Amino acid sequence: MNDSFTIFAGRANVALATSVAVEMGARLGACSVDRFPDGELSVRLDEPVRGREVLIIQPTSPPVNDHLIELLAFADACRRASAAHVTAVMPYFGYSRADKRHGRREPITASMVADLMQAVGVNHVVTIDLHAPQIEGFFHIPVDSLTAAPVMVEALRPGLPPETVVVSPDAGRVHMATEYARLLGARVAVLHKERASGVETRITRLVGDVRDRPCLIMDDMISTGGTIAESVEALLGAGARPEIIVAATHGLLLAGAREKLARPQTREVLVTDTVAP
């Protein structure tokens, strides 16, 4: 048993934290998380962490605010109990889409999350496929944004039809789609998406040729499923083969998303386990 560090699992994805612990030959630290009758959260570490390296595994997936507060409470408890070093492992970084102001008098919530994490004593952040790389700049501590590409490519490659085009559903995912296309030896196409609100998007342009070709839509997350549904529609409208594969790192899959994704022309939807089902 590896006893050189302690791993605590928040409640957002205990299955993932357990498999990480098994992979690292470690055990999960004893802790209790509860809720007071008024909704406030109570976190307690049930073993000492003085002078220890601690990892807290907690994606800040929906309900985002609850999971975030839980992560902050864990980090605060570790700092007050004299842990030597606290790493927040956030496989999914909630609020990462709020990385800039879209108008006046708006917060930059991703930056606010970074401030809160550092204020409670987080020394290091590990995350996967961060929505916008510049979020790293909101922190003064090391941030490692890992990529799911190696596991995704391994899962995708065997079933990928010849001549597949990797499609970025918007300008923000061009780099990701290009990297997947390079790894899969495929071509790239880009859709231009306009967002009217949190739930309303519109695809206005396609850059690239998808006619008579199968497509792989690559995104960092599926939330309401609106972006993917619009993208499938646009690709079919542009003559793509009705054999579309969808892959995204974070499957938030909010209520109604699965229905939006379930179309006969969509052959398969792949997500990783960063977010609990």
Catalytic residue set:
193
How far from each other are the two terminal CA atoms of the chain, in whole angstroms? Answer: 29
Please tell me whether residue 249 binds ligand R5P under the rule CB under 6 A.
no
Please tell me whether residue 96 binds ligand R5P under the rule CB under 6 A.
no
Please tell me whether residue 225 binds ligand R5P under the rule CB under 6 A.
yes
Please tell me whether residue 121 binds ligand R5P under the rule CB under 6 A.
no
For ligand R5P, the closer of residues 6 and 227 by Cβ is: 227
Stretch that binds ligand R5P, among 47-55, 59-67, 75-83, 167-175 (CB under 6 A): 167-175
Stretch that binds ligand R5P, among 30-38, 138-146, 165-173, 238-246 (CB under 6 A): 165-173
CB of 93 to ligand R5P, least distance (A): 12
Please tell me whether residue 226 binds ligand R5P under the rule CB under 6 A.
yes
Please tell me whether residue 169 binds ligand R5P under the rule CB under 6 A.
yes
Exactly one of 70, 99, 129, 170 binds ligand R5P (CB under 6 A); that residue is: 170
Please tell me whether residue 98 binds ligand R5P under the rule CB under 6 A.
no
CB of 220 to ligand R5P, least distance (A): 5
79-83: long-range contacts (C-beta < 8 A, 24 or more apart)? 79/120, 79/121, 81/45, 81/48, 81/49, 81/50, 82/49, 82/50, 82/51, 83/49, 83/50, 83/51, 83/52, 83/53, 83/54, 83/121
Exactly one of 52, 219, 241, 269 binds ligand R5P (CB under 6 A); that residue is: 219
For ligand R5P, the closer of residues 94 and 226 by Cβ is: 226
For ligand R5P, the closer of residues 67 and 193 by Cβ is: 193
Please tell me whether residue 61 binds ligand R5P under the rule CB under 6 A.
no
Please tell me whether residue 224 binds ligand R5P under the rule CB under 6 A.
yes
Q: Which residues have CB under 8 Å from 208's CB, separation 6+?
A: 165, 167, 187, 188, 189, 190
Please tell me whether residue 172 binds ligand R5P under the rule CB under 6 A.
yes
CB of 172 to ligand R5P, least distance (A): 5
Residues that bind ligand R5P (CB under 6 A): 97, 169-170, 172-173, 201, 219-227
